[in-house]
Structure 1
Amino acid sequence: MSSPYPPLPPRPPQPGGTPEGGGLRHAHWWQHTWVRYGALIALLALSGLVILALVREQTGTQGFLVGLGLAVLPVPLLVAAFRWLDRVEPGPWRNLVFAFAWGACAAALIAIVANSFATRWIATATADPSSADTLGATVIAPVVEESAKAAAILLVFLFRRRDFTGIVDGVVIAGITATGFAFTENILYLGNAFGTDQLSGDSGIASVTVATFFVRVIMSPFAHPLFTVLTGLGFGVAALSADRQRVRRVLLPLCGLLLAMVMHALWNGSSTLGEWGFFAVYGAFMMPAFAVLTWLVVWTRQRELGTVREELPAYAAAGWLTPAEPYALGSMRARRLARDHARRHLGKPAAREVARYEAYATSLAFLRHRGRLGRAGTDFVVREQELLHELWRRKDIARPALDHAARMTAPPVPVAMPPWPVHGVYGVYGHGRGHGRPTGPSRHPQYPYPQSQPHPHPHEPQPQPQPQSLYPHPRSPQPGYSGYSGYGPNQP
């Protein structure tokens, strides 16, 4: 039985390889993926062992265990919060695991070593240990710690660029990294507080430990994530910039990092502002900043859902999606209902497939949005093919669930595909079989939408629409050009 699915073009040859995907013929040993992953895992594991030994040496075994038990309490809540923000286009778990491990192991180790060395050097140079501690907390620590945490965001931005597409991705990676860093730092502070209580003769968890727990875990578990999220915002906005805007892509992360350092220095310096300095900074700066950033991220998430609803109808019109899917995929409630429907009727594996379908469809919408704005890279066509292929593999399971969710959540008025051309939300698209060059001031390329014409014999069976390819013709695109060419499957 022949499938209406248009055959995918062959995968383009890799550098030095073959069209069949042979990869690099003479790759050096350090260019293999497993070597890089192995080196990264070894680095993080070694950092973890070293930081474990240093913290245990400072707190003692009993203090370390108490600090570990108390410091782990806010971690699940913070991770769940950042995962909730990332529900529209959830990133791979390996990125989050790397970010947390980097913050808890590598960044914490860099901070402890660098802060201790700098504080001792200042104390020796000035012969004033108290001023050295103040300078170390308000100047050295913010610079060292925020730079160490920003390194994780930079690595994901450079080497996992496909998973780093906007503001929410930057916020999530930054927040998870800072959560790992705060986890290790809380073990140290809570363990030292417990040791202080033990030296004062108190048995069990006493006043200093309770006060430290209240300030660091109850009042300000979001402090480190709040600082580093400013850096993540800089990287997120840079990810939305075109590749040719290199100055902007460099300056924006640096500005975010600088703001994170300033906020961190203000927070650390609040203890030197008198008895009520901490509460003044907490109420005047930390809480408003936390509220503004939370609103910004939630607003960005809603805007991403709007992008999904605006971009996916192009693929529904060409036959790759059903008409109801763009609406269902643009609603978090409908997505949840689709997963629940699949789980109830086909089991947990089907629910996971629907979740993957939703993630791939969202990535496809974001890719098309960047292409229309001229921000897509040279791998636009290959990435689009990959995403459509993944969607088509899962359509038999995902489509019934999403159609059910759309029926359950749709407004009373039936959702219908708009006639073409469209003036409004989706821009102004052309009709001809052109080469996809931008038309008019909107700079929107022409797309191969099927024309809606009345059937001459309405009582006779009407042919069903077949999926059309949205891929550019091999002769049409030039390097760096993103957009569709307007060629359909029936053209030469």
Structure 2
Amino acid sequence: MSHAPPPPPTGDPVHAGWHQLMTYQPQVPAPANPTRRPMLRGIVGWSVVAVVFGLAALAMTFVVTTAVGPRAALLALVSSAIALGIVIPLFLWVDRLEAEPPRLLWFAFLWGALISTLGALVLGELGLAFFAGLDADPMVLGAVVIAPVTEEVLKGLGVLLIFLLARREFNGVIDGIVYAGIVAAGFAFVENILYLGTMYVDGGVPGLVAIFVMRCLVSPFAHPMFTICIGLALGLIAHRRRWSSAWIVLLGLAGAIFLHGLWNYSAVVRAEAYLLIFVLVQIPLFVGFLLLLYWARRRESRLLRDILTGYGLNGWYTPAEVAMLADPGERRRARAWARGIGGRRAQQAMRAFQDESGELAMVRKHMVHGGGGTDPHWLEHERRLLKAVSAHRQVFVPRA
């Protein structure tokens, strides 16, 4: 792979002039707080998060082991983890061009696995008690009405919290899909433990294998398929966060609840009709889910290419670099090429170059569409990224 460094930058991609960007002086930061209160606030904040997740973990452990026993719970946990090995890599693959911070991915997973599942159990029981007087089958009522509403609201709340509290890391449709998918994967992980453990207690190993095939192999993406409707809606309004756009989020929530209820209905109907409904409902939903992921990946690649082309026209990137950065396969080959010419140090520099370029595209998108074009924070962030991109390029393509 031949690689020539770009010429010296000549302009700013925002049409404001290269001189303006390079002569931009960040505001003088205010003096640091000399007290220990900022550190204490940070400790208290993270302690509260740890305590909440810890208590939820203890509660769910108690619920599961009480319901099925320690042995069944352990077997179910191991079996359920296999589904994670299918689901999580897919969302990490979708997120490759501009990866999300691990701390937020862990928050998403733990929210789904602990808070959403615990809340769904409590609200599910309350819902069944509330509707106990109705002349309806509790199994159908719980599966088709109560579970879709409570579970999608609770899972969606986790995605909404990331959207509100980590707005600089929630930049569009891909981010919404990834965060929603990880929340849903966490939820499905714990829910599967309960189902697998119960079937092992009731039917032994054959029962465990049967439900494992149905939930972990045939339909491991069921929960992510529903919840990404919410993530998709939040991603669409990531750069126009106004109350007037709230209807989009409510529409996404309604879509998640509808798909969840439709899926559950296909699972609780008469056995002789299950196969027909599986073919007519569940398979089309899964195909639509895969097409959505493909569309989102293509959309982000085009976005990355278009934005970096703007930087390239002003001297920041060569056309070959833009083409490489917009193609995951070429990015992988570029890292191998860098290692071949400069060893591990050059490979790490290429990886950083790719990561920073993806982040740069998201920053530019926010500045153009999110009204941050004159915000000193975003201007300074862009300037740091541009300097870092140039510095890392020098490692694998030193100038003569």
Both structures adopt the same fold (TM-score exceeding 0.5): yes
Q: Which amino acid aligns with 2:333?
A: L
Q: Following superposition of structure 1 onto structure 2, how do residues 83-122 of structure 1 map, counting pairs within 5 Å?
A: 83-122=92-131
The answer to whether residue 287 in structure 2 is matched with residue 287 in structure 1 is no
Distance change in 2, residues 1:316/1:142 (3 Å): same
Give the aligned partner of residue 243 of structure 2.
246
Contact 2:372 2:378 (C-alpha < 8 Å) held by counterparts: no
Give the aligned partner of residue 224 of structure 1.
223
Give the aligned partner of residue 210 of structure 2.
211
Contact 1:334 1:402 (C-alpha < 8 Å) held by counterparts: no
**SS of equivalent residue, structure 1 residue 115:** helix
Distance 1:299 1:23 in 2: 45
The answer to whether residue 400 in structure 2 is matched with residue 385 in structure 1 is no
Distance change in 2, residues 1:398/1:378 (3 Å): closer
Contact 2:127 2:146 (C-alpha < 8 Å) held by counterparts: yes
**SS of equivalent residue, structure 2 residue 275:** helix
- CA offsets 1:217-263 (integer angstroms, 9 cap, x no match): 121111111111111111111214x34x5312x11111111111111
Name the one with the larger helix percent: 2
Distance 2:46 2:340 in 1: 38
Give identity over the alignment, percent: 31
Distance 1:402 1:289 in 2: 47
Q: Which moved more, 1:87-96 or 1:186-195?
A: 87-96
Question: Structure 1 residue 274: deviation in Å?
Answer: 1.3
The answer to whether residue 184 in structure 2 is matched with residue 178 in structure 1 is yes
Distance change in 2, residues 1:402/1:159 (3 Å): farther
- CA offsets 1:97-140 (integer angstroms, 9 cap, x no match): 111111111111111121123224433x45x7x72332122111
Give the aligned partner of residue 235 of structure 2.
236
Give the aligned partner of residue 15 of structure 2.
none
**SS of equivalent residue, structure 1 residue 87:** coil
Q: Which amino acid aligns with 2:337?
A: H
Residue segments in structure 1 that go unaligned for 5+ positions in a row: 13-18, 199-204, 404-463, 465-492
Distance change in 2, residues 1:271/1:341 (3 Å): closer
- CA offsets 1:283-327 (integer angstroms, 9 cap, x no match): 222222222232233223222222222222333344444554323
RMSD of aligned Cα (Å) = 2.9
Distance 1:116 1:402 in 2: 62
**SS of equivalent residue, structure 1 residue 73:** helix
Q: Following superposition of structure 1 onto structure 2, how do residues 58-97 of structure 1 map, counting pairs within 5 Å?
A: 58-97=67-106
Give the aligned partner of residue 11 of structure 1.
26
Q: Based on CA coordinates, which of the two structures has the bigger radius of gyration?
A: 1
**TM-score between the two structures when normalised by the length of structure 1:** 0.70
Distance 1:141 1:161 in 2: 29
Distance change in 2, residues 1:33/1:274 (3 Å): same
The number of equivalent residue pairs is 381
Residue segments in structure 2 that go unaligned for 5+ positions in a row: 1-7, 10-20
Distance 1:349 1:155 in 2: 38
The answer to whether residue 152 in structure 2 is matched with residue 143 in structure 1 is no
- CA offsets 1:338-393 (integer angstroms, 9 cap, x no match): 22233445554653443232222123223334544x43336645324323313423
Distance 1:100 1:89 in 2: 19
Question: Larger relative CO (CA 8 A, sep 6+): 1 or 2?
Answer: 2
